Structure 1
């Protein structure tokens, strides 16, 4: 039976893809909710609970050391000496590597006499699938096998094995207890260790190489929040690096932990696109990985079509709910194909090698052809979607929850749905694709520029609405071609794509920074004046970091620095409240409504495109963009005045070279 989706906001995570450990704030892994050690999409340990003389240590602090390491400190007053001061202590150090979790348990004391006790670690495993845990299903712990100091759980090809040097092992039907009798001398250290190694059949695996594909810039800014945000974000991204079995030499970013720890077309593409100022290697790996599974046939069950870029991959069917079951390789996305083309074009402009670009041009041509031949299912001239399988996603843009496309009164729009931002991605892909075809001497560029011009004209006549606050862009057209009248963040994705003219971009900018849309912590997904608004509705009032970042970049590209600065300052205002780890989403409450942004309690963290958004703040503040000329230079047009004050950045990358830039608080470059 399904229950409630487990909450994540108060859990600590330690990860190195494709492995992760979720624990309570004291470092203990208890058999409840989403807590546990995972490898691929299986929970290999559902409990790892430390006790001393039968009692849990008293926690005094826990937190990440790096993305792959955590330390928790506890007091051991059950074996401590007399006196008010705590003088016996346990440090629990957890390290996660692909397929491996190691814990060191370090005991020390400052007592007059040695302290002694029995330390135990209770381990349980349910080998439960991730999808079932997300649905809140309960799972019985499995009976382990014991061989000396080794404990293992096995289910077919899935296997987890725990070894603990010097420990006694006591097993029962629901788990095993590791035990050590310890004596700690004053001033000395006793260190105990256990390691779990896991094997799980999976489509995605550890990354192809150990080092990240991007540079790590050094940032000095008047705004003291920017540097720690960037540092934390890049550390989080390092833990999300993955490779796929069908493209084992390439690296991409998994969408997010814990639920989306795999390849997602849209998410992985956007994350790589946001990181382009730090290098093009991640973009190349992401493009190649997705091209390796580009659609070749028409399959209603998987939503595959020739030229289409996939939505996600899993090891088996994914049962989302009673009505939705996705096949292992699923193509139900309306935007990933256009975004793939956009990333290839942008990576080329940022300096991706011509040979690497040219090798991907056949996939580019197939992707462009998909937009024209398959993207418009109802023939109205706009890219749209409708699930034809009966068990796929009902909404197939980035706002993919069932209630995300709604009218201002809160009622749901009926599909096929043509999303506004999808038309912008398609326009940008057609123009960028044409530039690539021209540059490499391939035919078809003029036809795609004509296609884009016609789309632009149709869009202007179909998507614009006006209310008492002025003009704005509808989120979508419904099955009748009617413009769905909610005011949403989707229109922020249109900025800088070329789909809008300058006056239209200014109109959109005004709506985005108005109080009903800008919470002071970022951009709300839905206007607070809409009937369906709620600050904790997944796509109906929350703030998504990447959504805000995309709008920031579009505003900057459109020359609307004042409005971009409003949203830059909003994300920076939110960052310290979130411990500089921008989650998948957070509450849309205003700055003056409570002490901090409300946590969205089921939000994934880290999330690839959220973490990558920190780089977008740098990109916007400096006004970075490749020249429109082939093999041109890097344009630098800072927002003035600077939303982060004076800024000095070294370690950016363009065309394979390091870039150092500095500007004062007015936005004047000091080394143009």
Structure 2
């Protein structure tokens, strides 16, 4: 459907297209500005015209329509877009006003800023002509107070009746209230059709004169925020001192843009507001996700351990304590997501506000604790979390392996939750090579790698802190590696490779997928197995030139726009890059990293959650996946993961050692990375044009720097 209220831009066009009911809105051309838990989505010209557009706070839409148009003259947008994560600006020419040549004379500028709980827009009319101009500016506003789940599903709800105010308008459902205030107050206000409010200003502009108005939309939520906004100091501090200058400006821009976006995605735990974590992504996932927040924090460890510590503690406070089939909570389990409201996807699929339906967040939590300790998380912060690690390991051994076959597997016990509970959680993500879908319970290949790495990391932690159990978990990991070697490997005409998973019949699901890229570097594979995986990842059916396809293009059901069956996910590729570099497969790692950097350029450094997998051999730039989040925490953090792989950084803060092994750095030379951190110590790595590595800022009597040849 489309709204039919006439606009005042001289075209008579509707306020904007609304997708057919039931179809998820597209985001590929949206301008997204955010400061979690608030965000604004608009058209490229700055107008909020419904669909997915709006100003949101905490999974509720406060504004669904906000347009600014000059009546009776053509409004011609000439440019606009983000000016960082939290700001955007747009400029429109008001054609025919005060013009004495082909040059435009009168413009409308719109500058937007998002802060927690507030959207502000400064509107500026400027007459650069030689004669006076009269402008009748009309602001049109409406709100449906829709939930994010409703917007994402493509369903529509009626607009709320506006409540006129002396200087604007408000909307309320008794619990959530949005107020729009205009300064100066409008000269006139009218209630148009479909619950739309029109605010009018008549402006006389002398030659060279400017006129300005400020719009502010604020929200009040009686229910309160699920998570608090991080302080401005915390947002600024996140990676604030880090900088990168290399021979590849694409990598530099991706890194710089990521720093800005990551600060805007930061949230705080209301139970302890000093603990911050990254919301998964905007707009659909602007909340705590166990897996996403953990992986993003892990990728960012070279910039400091504070984020990792906050993420670990926030999740530990909510670690499963009881068995509750309705939420899939189990003792020791790390949650999947928390929202203000539950989600109802239709067709019987629904999840509660606090949902534990994930198989991988628990081992990933343990690994983050280990890696944060290695990067210098203070022992007094690590030790209180060791009991949570023990609970997580017990979950892995018992609940995670419910049938006792020695592998971690999942099955939706509710009948209405996620059918697939790894990072590829869409219903068609796990399959055989011939396209047949998996039947639960499912044991994913990468989850076994996560579990193996977690067990070895926990053993190292337990020994360092004088706790028992280290031998047990090392033996557990060794047995898991043996079982994996016996059961997961399959073969085709090109040779052996790991299956994506074991299905309900305990037989391999032989689809060739990017999941195998999560295995190198975890210790699960021996040297020959790692080499075989590297060769598969290097194939043109997976490496599309912009990163790894999630499913081989040779597989039945491959779709370059399939969510988990052919698209490219930057974090997925970055994990493979790190593991391959760790295992010494530098050529393959460098090719995949270069693909991500290449892809980041047309996305202006803000790599989305995912994009199409058509590939560089057919497309000069990757096509967007239209409903993808931008920014996404782990896509932004992937820039740091790639940098870590380029530098070959390995940290051992407890042992006073930093290793540099720049085996895939040639295309980026010379390179200088500043603001890196090993515990409380800030350092810098410089790679000269010939590849010579130098480290500055680490005192030799406290830290041994070891530079290894590739």
TM-score (norm 2): 0.92
Which residue of structure 2 lines up, in the alignment, with residue 70 of structure 1? 88
Specify the alignment match of 1:491 in structure 2: 516
Q: Is the 8 A contact 2:63 2:144 kept in 1?
A: yes
Is 1:195 the counterpart of 2:216? The answer is yes
Cα deviation, 1:178-215, whole Å, max 9, x if unaligned, reads 22111122222211111000123331231145333334
> Gaps spanning 5+ residues in structure 2: where?
1-19, 696-706
The equivalent residue for 1:393 is 418
1:662 aligns with 2:682: no
- Name which of 582, 586, 589 aligns with 2:607: 582
Q: Output the CA distance in 2 between the equivalents of 1:539 and 1:334.
A: 17
Q: What residue is the counterpart of 2:699 in the other structure?
A: none
Superposed CA offset, 1:387-442 (max 9, x none): 01111100000000000001111110111000000001001111101111111111
**How far off its partner does 1:36 sit?**
0.9
Alpha-carbon contact 1:407-1:486 (below 8 Å) kept: yes
Structure 1 contact 641–666 (Cα < 8 Å) conserved: no
1:106–1:361: structure 2 CA closer, same or farther, 3 Å change rule?
same
| Alignment partner, residue 12 of structure 1 | 31
Give how far 1:2 is off: 4.6
Aligned to 1:174: 195
Q: Look up the match of 2:14.
A: none
User: Separation in 2 of the partners of 1:79 and 1:209?
Assistant: 42
Q: For 1:346-371, what per-residue CA distance to the aligned partner results, in whole angstroms no more than 9, with x for missing partners?
A: 00000000000011111111111111
Which residue in the other structure is 1:211 paired with?
234
Alignment of 1:119-198 (within 5 A): 119-166=137-184, 167-168=186-187, 169-172=189-192, 174-198=195-219
Q: How does 1:13-28 map to 2 (within 5 A)?
A: 13-28=32-47
Deviations 1:242-285 (A, max 9, x none): 12334433111000011111000000000000000000000001
Q: Secondary structure at the match of 1:179?
A: strand
Once the two structures are superposed, what CA deviation does each residue of 1:582-607 show, in whole Å capped at 9, x if it has no partner? 00000111212123111111111100
1:93 paired residue number: 111
On the 8 A contact 2:647/2:665 being kept in 1, the answer is: no
2:377 to 352, 376, 381: 352
SS in 2 for 1:371: helix
RMSD after superposition = 1.4
Residue 121 of structure 2 corresponds to 103
Asked whether the equivalents of residues 168 and 199 of structure 2 are also in contact (C-alpha less than 8 Å), the reply is no
Question: In structure 1, the residue corresponding to 2:620 is in which secondary structure?
Answer: coil
Helix, strand or coil at the partner of 2:601: helix
Report the alpha carbon displacement of residue 54 of structure 1 after superposing the two structures with TM: 4.8
SS in structure 2 at match of 1:308: coil
Question: Is the counterpart of residue 473 in structure 1 residue 510 in structure 2?
Answer: no
User: Structure 1 residue aligned with 2:573, among 548, 562, 580?
Assistant: 548
Alpha-carbon offset, residue 156 of structure 1: 2.1
Question: Which shifted more, 383-392 or 185-194?
Answer: 185-194
Contact 2:239 2:259 in 1 (8 A): no
Q: Are the counterparts in 2 of residues 488 and 524 from structure 1 also a CA contact under 8 Å?
A: yes
Measured in 2, the distance between the counterparts of 1:119 and 1:215 equals 40
Distance (Å, rounded) in 2 between the aligned partners of 1:233 and 1:640: 22
Q: How far apart in 1 are the matches of 2:244 and 2:148?
A: 38
Q: Distance in 2 between matches of 1:290 and 1:641?
A: 36
| Corresponding position of 1:283 | 308
CA distance in 2, matches of 1:640, 1:229: 18
Q: Which moved more, 1:485-494 or 1:134-143?
A: 134-143
Task: Give deviations 1:601-656, integer Å, cap 9, x for gaps.
Answer: 111110000010000111011000113x8433111000155242321111111121
Secondary structure, counterpart of 1:581 in structure 2: coil
Work out the CA distance in 1 between the residues paired with 2:548 and 2:667. Answer: 16
Q: Which piece of structure 1 moves more, 148-157 or 612-621?
A: 148-157
The number of aligned residues is 670
Q: Any idea what the Cα deviations from partners look like across 1:474-508, whole Å, max 9, x if unmatched?
A: 10000111011011111110110011111111110
Query: Which shifted more, 323-332 or 176-185?
Result: 176-185
What is the SS of the residue equivalent to 2:402? coil
- Inter-partner Cα distance in structure 2 for 1:573 and 1:149: 48
Post-superposition offset of 1:78: 5.0
Post-superposition CA distance 1:81-114 (Å, at most 9, x none)? 3432111111100110000000101111121222
- How many angstroms does 1:141 deviate by? 1.6
CA contact (8 A) 2:645 2:664 kept: no
Contact 1:72 1:93 in 2 (8 A): yes
Distance 1:186 1:538, change over 3 A: same
- 1:199, 1:92 → 2: CA distance? 25
Question: Partner residue of 2:17?
Answer: none
Structure 1 runs of 4+ with >6 Å offset: none
Distance in 1 (CA, whole Å) between partners of 2:110 and 2:179 is: 20
Structure 1 residue 57, shift from structure 2 partner: 2.3
Aligned-residue offset at 1:133: 0.8
Name the CA distance, whole Å, in 2 between partners of 1:632 and 1:479. 47
Q: Deviation string for 1:45-90 (max 9, x for gaps)? A: 0111111125562100011112111000110115333432111111
Matches within 5 A, 1:320-335: 320-335=345-360
